Structure 1
């Protein structure tokens, strides 16, 4: 185990065991255990005080996270869907697509690939602020950071309602992406700082699927607005959608200010007592989560870039994220086949399918305690066959629509982020930067890839796009398996090092033998890796 990890990790003994004196978990009925296991597998084993704390966290963090995710996950793609970005953000994530097919294209005279460039402007700003956002959140309270993000997002959502040209939309979308960029990495890091391993998977799943609810709501909302407000006060329906979404996001900023609890060690939330705070720190220590120090130095950089974790997890997420692009182009396909309102309803139903399946994968991962196969399995049974059908491009509309709905089930982001938090639990700052790097590097690649493989002029068949999705999916699966192998090997080495350290204290001779065996094991691993590389 490296020295940085030893010094950064908080000892459970160092945190006052405030659970002492609390009531022991009481015997409960089989039904109560069953219901508890469905929600949290260890719910019936927690003391009343710990259960009360978790309920407070669900009330505070989840409300802020889900509302912000639904309202701030901005206008991202044709169907608004990418693995990560918030009811305002997510509603607006689908707004660009819905606005495009509901009159914006004609009103702004959008030509050629200008729609793709609008997506790219958002993506570039979103990508470049991922790492800086989490760095700022390590120094400034997350509550302040996210309120600023929400307010900025609100201002420039209103601005899009007044756009008169593609050039203005480029600028407004760049600024929307800039302010939205900090939300997701900060929330993911914050969730991982408060919740335990048995709790986190379902919370991340709940948080993430509300984004797809927002996108689905966007389609129905746009259909309703177009039917009732189009032409009202001389404004087309797509402009009213941005106005309404801007009005919806302001209450989110207010809720964040009063409800988001910051980190366990510095929270001042009105509903978190001092005992709650100490219990939260105790829980984190028991989970071997390191203390958040905010120290960003050369040692941290060396630790992060010198580890397999940053490299493999970032590459895995880049390929996984880009494998989720297919369903973004569902509405482009539908626009040429069915009426406008029908297009919005179809894409909304696709978002609802994504919401159910994404939560199902996260729920299954939480129930079984497994992460890897709840990432690989869905990709194998949904994204790969769906992208293969779209690559073949059968003549029947039913087959194509079924394929789009199939790839809509391939989102495993909730499981991926849960796993990233687990793998990087040894150092809080490394965890924050790795999470933001994964998201930032994905969006950096996604800022130009759609132009290369999904240019609007080749739609709706996109002969370069759908075959690329197959390659991305295969690469994501391979890198997930590699990360799993390296993580398990790391855990074995840390367990052996810990055993050797304990033996050193009791019998130095046994410790020397243990160190020798450990060195032989590392040499064997290195030899096998070298041989496999040659092959």
Structure 2
């Protein structure tokens, strides 16, 4: 199959009522593109992708790094005495962890629907400034109640960010590029865990009583200040949408729109009405299947808020406990990039999620069944790598199966992410200190998340195959018909 034919095959409208739309027909819609040759289109496409890669990817990766760092910093601060200094019981501590996700849940859907109609270069940095200011306020906490309140505000202000950058990525990149690009900015997740360990080793071990502050107070001040600096830079660097980004020429903006339109099967990504998009998302079964899958994956990752505490049961000294957090996340990032590249190249998602999830379940079994440090550490690597890769590909899969309109896609992403966060309302109670060293109650919860994720993967694949068969029948297509095959759902 030639490159031209391959592009044309991808250009069928999702709804069966529309005829097959060719790449040349889409090209003719754009004034600056309609007279370009194939070679000129290829060259322009490469130029646009390169510009976006260098502008969008570093910016959202660093922003997500700071976002996740602000989310997990309390885990290491706990080891440095935060819980004891504020006289919090395990129940109050778990309530504070859960309260973050109450705010996070409340802000998800309205935040992402707002972003779909606004300019990301304004909305996302503004949210980042807000959560950074809240983080800098954390050293002023004097009680468990204050901890709960501040964590609620941090969660509320962070809420639109993760679904927002997911929406942005899927609006700039096609379905072959999307998995890898999401894996790239997902690096902020792994790097933040690595940096958090090193920061903890440096700040929490050496800055106690500097200017009369606890080391954990300095931890929040330094992280919050760095996050503010990144937010200010993002106002000037972050692009908006393909149709209105100022650092691209008119020709490049049209190419950016053309690329995504081809990937969407000719379906316009236009914003659409906010409530219309929400209603469309609610009525689409894919939304609820991905809600369940996202919930299951977040449940399988419930160990993350307690990762330093879990490693603390390995018997290392405190400094080593901080430092050994880094390798599992570095390995997880490499695995996620490899799986994302393979998924995009072969346009397959189900097996690319299920296989790593099975590995995560095996890692959990190792973690809860033996005291051998080597086996448990290898189990941690499997656990993190599988769930991390699975979540990355799930995000890419849902935006590929529901590519447009933007308001519907924004609602789907936000609803799925919103419902998934309810896991954090109860999962902290599965990791009390009384469960050390095995945390078997938490291990059982992780295994449930892995099993539920795999089951929903198969359900989504079954639905996508069923819809593809209907499209085949509507077009009269079969392997032996000789007809051209249009856009199909990726599974």
CA deviation after TM superposition for structure 1 residue 278, in Å: 1.2
Is 1:387 matched up with 2:361?
A: no
* Deviations 1:151-173, CA, capped at 9 Å, x for gaps: 10111110012222221111111
Who is 2:308 aligned against? 331
Pick one of 47, 56, 60 that aligns with 2:42: 47
Is 1:479 matched up with 2:474?
A: no
Quick check: 2:103–2:156 contact (8 Å CA) kept in 1? yes
Runs of 4+ residues over 4 Å off in structure 1: 1-7, 20-24
Is 1:247 matched up with 2:225?
A: yes
Distance 1:328-1:217 versus aligned 2 partners, 3 A rule: same
Who is 2:26 aligned against? 12
CA deviation after TM superposition for structure 1 residue 2, in Å: 8.3
Is 1:286 matched up with 2:262?
A: yes
SS of the residue 1:482 aligns to: helix
Pick one of 109, 116, 119 that aligns with 2:94: 116
CA deviation after TM superposition for structure 1 residue 366, in Å: 2.5
Quick check: 2:302–2:427 contact (8 Å CA) kept in 1? no
Quick check: 1:5–1:426 contact (8 Å CA) kept in 2? no
CA deviation after TM superposition for structure 1 residue 23, in Å: 5.8
* Deviations 1:270-315, CA, capped at 9 Å, x for gaps: x2111111111222221224322231335x4553333221111111
CA deviation after TM superposition for structure 1 residue 21, in Å: 4.8
Quick check: 1:193–1:264 contact (8 Å CA) kept in 2? yes
Who is 2:379 aligned against? 403
Who is 1:68 aligned against? 63
CA deviation after TM superposition for structure 1 residue 112, in Å: 2.3
Distance 1:5-1:240 versus aligned 2 partners, 3 A rule: farther
* Deviations 1:364-388, CA, capped at 9 Å, x for gaps: 32333321111011111x2111122
Aligned partners of 1:297, 1:225: CA distance in 2, in Å?
A: 47
Q: How many residues align?
A: 457
Matches within 5 A, 1:125-164: 125-164=103-142
- Report which stretch shifted further, 204-213 or 138-147: 138-147
SS of the residue 2:403 aligns to: coil
Structure 1 residue runs of 5 or longer lacking an equivalent are 27-45, 74-90, 501-535
Is 1:360 matched up with 2:324?
A: no
Quick check: 1:160–1:169 contact (8 Å CA) kept in 2? yes
* Deviations 1:131-167, CA, capped at 9 Å, x for gaps: 1111111222222211221110111110012222221
Aligned partners of 2:472, 2:28: CA distance in 1, in Å?
A: 21
Aligned partners of 1:360, 1:310: CA distance in 2, in Å?
A: 27
Q: Which of 1 and 2 has higher RCO (CA within 8 Å, sep 6+)?
A: 2
Who is 1:494 aligned against? 471
Quick check: 1:222–1:344 contact (8 Å CA) kept in 2? yes
Who is 2:486 aligned against? none
Quick check: 1:23–1:48 contact (8 Å CA) kept in 2? no
Distance 1:318-1:415 versus aligned 2 partners, 3 A rule: same
Aligned partners of 2:268, 2:425: CA distance in 1, in Å?
A: 34
SS of the residue 1:153 aligns to: helix
Aligned partners of 1:13, 1:363: CA distance in 2, in Å?
A: 27
SS of the residue 2:439 aligns to: coil
Quick check: 1:210–1:355 contact (8 Å CA) kept in 2? no
CA deviation after TM superposition for structure 1 residue 431, in Å: 1.3
Larger Cα-atom Rg? 1
CA deviation after TM superposition for structure 1 residue 108, in Å: 1.7
Matches within 5 A, 1:501-512: none
| Alignment TM-score, normalising by the size of structure 2 | 0.86
Pick one of 98, 104, 113 that aligns with 2:76: 98
Aligned partners of 2:170, 2:438: CA distance in 1, in Å?
A: 40
Distance 1:301-1:150 versus aligned 2 partners, 3 A rule: closer
- Report which stretch shifted further, 400-409 or 457-466: 457-466
Matches within 5 A, 1:339-378: 339-378=317-356
CA deviation after TM superposition for structure 1 residue 209, in Å: 1.8
Root mean square deviation, CA, Å = 2.5
Aligned partners of 2:404, 2:114: CA distance in 1, in Å?
A: 20
Quick check: 2:56–2:238 contact (8 Å CA) kept in 1? yes
Aligned partners of 1:140, 1:389: CA distance in 2, in Å?
A: 47
Aligned partners of 1:285, 1:235: CA distance in 2, in Å?
A: 54
Aligned partners of 2:126, 2:211: CA distance in 1, in Å?
A: 31
CA deviation after TM superposition for structure 1 residue 231, in Å: 2.1
CA deviation after TM superposition for structure 1 residue 235, in Å: 1.5
CA deviation after TM superposition for structure 1 residue 176, in Å: 0.7
* Deviations 1:185-229, CA, capped at 9 Å, x for gaps: 111111101111222111110000222101211110121123442
Aligned partners of 2:199, 2:348: CA distance in 1, in Å?
A: 37
SS of the residue 1:448 aligns to: helix
Structure 2 residue runs of 5 or longer lacking an equivalent are 1-12, 478-491
Aligned partners of 2:15, 2:327: CA distance in 1, in Å?
A: 51
Aligned partners of 1:327, 1:295: CA distance in 2, in Å?
A: 37
